[in-house]
Amino acid sequence: MMAGLNYFFWFLAIVAFVFEVIALIDVLQVPEGAFPAADKQTKKLWLILLVVANVVGLGGAVGFLPLLSFLPIAAFIVAAIYLADVKPAVKPYKNKKGGGNSSSGPYGPW
């Protein structure tokens, strides 16, 4: 019974780590000026928080930290706050990649 519970918490730690990686990748794609424009903390602060969260989350996912330790839980909370609050606020300012929309001409939209 305990082995099954340990596998369940290990699976949750891996899922939490995936969310932390997604948050880190997203913060790298947002321009620095988007954070003050959206009235959020600076990109540098979120980058530091999410890098630390990824290191702690990786430690929890590979079993270096105990599964029920508060550090992997705190790391997941940091990523969840970014994904739920900051990401939607800075989304309008995010760099657009690709060839543009269908109404774009060779020198811009028409």
Does residue 71 form part of some domain? yes
Instruction: Over range 34-62, report the average pLDDT.
Output: 94
Q: Report if pTM > 0.85.
A: no
| pLDDT tens-digit map of 22-33 | 999 999 999 999
Domains contained in the chain, number: 1
| pLDDT tens-digit map of 76-102 | 999 999 999 999 999 998 865 544 455
Does residue 107 form part of some domain? no
Cα 78 to Cα 84: distance, rounded to the nearest angstrom: 10
Does residue 101 form part of some domain? no
Residue range of the domain that includes 41: 2-95
Instruction: Over range 48-53, report the average pLDDT.
Output: 97
Does residue 108 form part of some domain? no
Does residue 110 form part of some domain? no
Does residue 109 form part of some domain? no
> What's the mean per-residue pLDDT of the chain?
86
Does residue 44 form part of some domain? yes
Cα 87 to Cα 58: distance, rounded to the nearest angstrom: 22
